[in-house]
Amino acid sequence: MGEVAAVVPAAGSGSRMETGIKKQFLPLAGVPVLGRALRIIEACRLVGSIVIVVSPGDETYCSAIAGELGLSKVAAIIPGGKERQDSVYNGLLALSASTGTVVIHDGARPLLSPKELEEVIKAAGEQGAATTAVPVKDTVKLAGKDGFVSRTLPRNRLWLTQTPQAFRYEIILKAHRRAREQNFTGTDDAGLVEHMGLPVKIVPGSYENIKITTPEDLVVAEAIIKARGQ
Ligand code: CTP
Ligand code: MG
């Protein structure tokens, strides 16, 4: 898998959270959301360096969080772009040319497990591209424009995609470059690799690895942290 670098997009505005402080900087049981994610990534023995992507102007604040947690693998804190895809692209360009594998993890997901992080990196080393995901619990229906059910999708084949996602560096760089050329916007990085026609391996993730998006997610996250004794 070569040298492994992590890219952590944290340059969003958190508009659905509707708080004064951006959600990635909100404290969860005393530690900022982003800090919790970074702490797990830092502790992964496979990861050699971390590039954090923040909104222009948030670099110093982010650097203080990394300093307070004593993180030693942060190689750069760089400005993001308009969309998540732009922020990740900036992060990819900031990696050293000797990078073999890239793991991408949202700064808004503080509860990833060390195990899923390691497994998705290993899967990318073997398969080229991999995403963590969990099986859907509810039955998913496809709706028609008329508001009626068009059909019921086969539940045993449906997965909810999360980050971390990991890729061989040259594959994800090419996928992002091609998406930009074609004005293609995906909702995740694996989607850009799929768009190139390349396979993406599914690595089972965890239902606890929620993305902090709306205020009730904070309540759930605090409860998970308490149950874990963290
Ligand atoms: N992100 C980013 N750059 C952007 C937009 C999003 O780096 N231009 C990051 C977010 O900080 C977050 C991750 O991508 O870590 C997932 O995005 P999302 O949950 O949508 O966060 P926000 O865009 O901040 O929230 P919202 O969509 O509610 O505004
Ligand atoms: Mg967003």
Only one residue has tokens 């497990």, namely 113
Domain count, the chain: 1
Tell me the CA distances in angstroms from 28 to 33, 78, 128, 223, one per residue in order: 6, 24, 34, 10
Q: Is residue 137 part of a domain?
A: no
Q: Is residue 106 part of a domain?
A: yes
Q: What CATH number is associated with residue 104?
A: 3.90.550.10
User: Can you give the pLDDT at residue 1?
Assistant: 87
Domain that holds residue 169: 3-132+160-228
Q: Is residue 18 part of a domain?
A: yes
Contact residues for 129 (Cβ-Cβ < 8 A; gap 6+): 165, 166, 167, 168, 171, 172, 190, 193, 198, 199, 200, 201
Q: Is residue 144 part of a domain?
A: no
pLDDT at 147 over 90: yes
pTM value?
Answer: 0.98
Q: Is residue 209 part of a domain?
A: yes
pLDDT band at 24 (very low <50, low <70, confident <90, very high): very high
Quote the CA–CA distance of 40 and 20 in Å, as a whole number: 26
Quote the CA–CA distance of 61 and 64 in Å, as a whole number: 5
Q: Record the tokens describing residue 55, joined without a space.
A: 């909104």
Q: Record the tokens describing residue 63, joined without a space.
A: 């650097």
Q: Which residues line ligand 1 (CB under 6 A)?
A: 9-16, 24, 53, 80-84, 87, 106-108, 211, 213
Mean pLDDT, residues 96-119 taken together = 98
Q: Is residue 147 part of a domain?
A: no
Q: Which atom of ligand 1 is nearest to the CA of 23?
A: 24
User: Cα of 1 to ligand 1 centre, how many Å?
Assistant: 28
Which pLDDT tens digit goes with each residue over 176-210? 999 999 999 999 999 999 999 999 999 999 999 99
Nearest CA to ligand 1 atom 13: 106
Quote the CA–CA distance of 167 and 130 in Å, as a whole number: 6
Q: Is residue 42 part of a domain?
A: yes
Q: Is residue 128 part of a domain?
A: yes
Mean pLDDT, residues 92-113 taken together = 98
- For the chain, give the percent of residues with pLDDT over 90: 98
